[in-house]
Amino acid sequence: MTQTGHSMAIITPPSLPTAPKPSLVSGRQQEPTEQPIEKWRDEHLLTAIASHHIQGGNTQAGTIFVRRHLSYVVRVCQSRLQNMAEAEEAAQDVFLSVWKNAHTWQSGNAKVTTWLYRIASNRAIDILRRRRITTDIDAMPDMADDTDIEAAEIIANQNRLIRTALASLSPDQQNAIELVYYKEMKQGEAAAQMNISLAALESTLRRGRKKLHDYLAEYHAQVRLI
């Protein structure tokens, strides 16, 4: 995507047949709604999108799904990336993933927006990882005295250790810790951003902190043995 803000171009799904039919999403039979397609629930739109892989699909469903959720997906990506151009590019990848994986969504496991949030967050995390690798390489000093080089190596090692520890967490735990501790969001705001209850956020943070503590404790124990 090249435009920014509200003028962003709408992502257009691949050309598909236009007659929506009942189709299977995660092994369940989904009946098409009698309402105009613009008023379809998200799960009905996903059913129509998924039918592209099963028995023919509906171009309108994909377009409407994108229009309905584009600003939300860009906002999620932007909150992590802090770069609108990268957020818009990430959003394009997110919706391509939706079109390919719509049949994997299961209503009993998560709301559509929660499922979409996870896809967007994971895509943003991938971009951040690539960006950090590039930044680490670019930040290496060309010329410095031994003291500066040693200090830079210590800091770089600490940063790598923290990133590795965070990468050991589940996506939800990573998201919760980043929003609350790195972006300094209030827990209520972070819960709303992640589309989960405050109690669920607190539980996710608790599990994430414990896993980080265990990871770092094990690392330092191994270092002492060397």
- Select the highest-mean-pLDDT range: 27-41, 155-169, 201-215: 201-215
C-alpha torsion 123→13→25→106, nearest 10: 30
Asked if pLDDT for residue 146 goes beyond 60, the answer is: no
CA atoms within 13 A on the CB side of 172: 17
State the pLDDT at residue 159.
Answer: 63
Least reliable range by pLDDT among 57-66, 84-93, 107-116, 145-154: 145-154
Residue 183 makes CB contacts below 8 A (sequence gap 6+) with 79
Q: Which domains does the chain have, with CATH numbers?
A: 1-120 (1.10.1740.10), 140-226 (1.10.10.10)
Share of the chain above pLDDT 90, in %: 8
For residue 30, is pLDDT > 60?
A: no
- Mind listing the pLDDT tens digit for each residue in 186-204? 888 888 888 899 999 999 9
Which pLDDT score, from 0 to 100, does residue 14 have?
43
What phi, psi does 30 have (nearest 5°)? -115, 125
Residue 92 contacts residue 86 (beta carbons within 8 Å): no
Separation of CA 136 from chain center:
23
More confident residue, 35 or 65: 65
| Tokens (6 digits) for 67 | 């229009």
pLDDT-based confidence at residue 157 (cuts at 50, 70, 90): low
Looking at every residue in the chain, the average pLDDT score rounds to: 73
In the predicted model, what is the mean pLDDT of residues 88-92?
Answer: 90
The mean pLDDT value for 148-158 works out to: 58
- Stretch 175-179: mean pLDDT: 85
Name, of 12-16, 41-45, 65-69, the range with top average pLDDT: 65-69
Question: Closest Cα to residue 80, out of 117, 41, 128, 32?
Answer: 128
- Regarding predicted confidence, which is higher, 151 or 98? 98
User: What span, in angstroms and rounded, lies between the C-alpha atoms of 20 and 122?
Assistant: 30
Q: Report pLDDT for 181.
A: 77
More confident residue, 221 or 61: 61
Per-residue pLDDT band at 24 (split at 50, 70, 90): very low
